[in-house]
Amino acid sequence: MAEKFEALEQQLELFIENTRQLGIIVSDFQPQGQNVLNQKINTMVTEMQEIEKFRPLLQDVHVPLEVFNYIDEGKNPNLYTKDCLEKALDKNENVKGKMDNLKRFKGLLMVELTKVFPNEMNMYRALKGEDRLK
């Protein structure tokens, strides 16, 4: 799979370089440069056809839309993965904190309920102990 990406990357880099060169030719266009301009345009069409050939090979690759937002904002798309991991870690810490608080609350609730309803809590504990064995 990596070979497909590397080949596509090389083709895209070639296309980008030719696009840059075409931009230079167009920005300083001289009538005598028409043949060179035509050759560059033909080269770009050929390169687009080459890039198109990668479509069936990479059909199963899905890119999250957020990656394109990163690119549009001028950010490195590799940062998307890093940011996702950081968000997941933050969320994990948040959920872990909530779980810890719920465990503490349960412990305090059990203590208080035992004070107010000792018989019922003993029955509850007995039932709960039976459930653990099943």
Domain carrying residue 15: 1-61
Considering its fold, how many domains does the chain have in total?
2
Cα separation of 107 and 122, whole Å? 15
Q: Which two tokens stand for residue 28?
A: 């300083």
- Does some domain include residue 74? no
Q: Does residue 131 sit in the same domain as residue 89?
A: yes
pLDDT in tens, 11-45: 999 999 999 999 988 898 888 889 988 999 999 99
Contact present, 24 and 57 (Cβ < 8 Å):
no
Neighbours of 78 (CB within 10 A): 10
Q: If you write DSSP's letter for every residue of 81-94 in order, what string do you get?
A: HHHHHHHHHHHHHH
Q: Does residue 2 sit in the same domain as residue 55?
A: yes
Q: What is the pLDDT of residue 38?
A: 92
pTM here is 0.51
- Does some domain include residue 69? no
- Does some domain include residue 106? yes
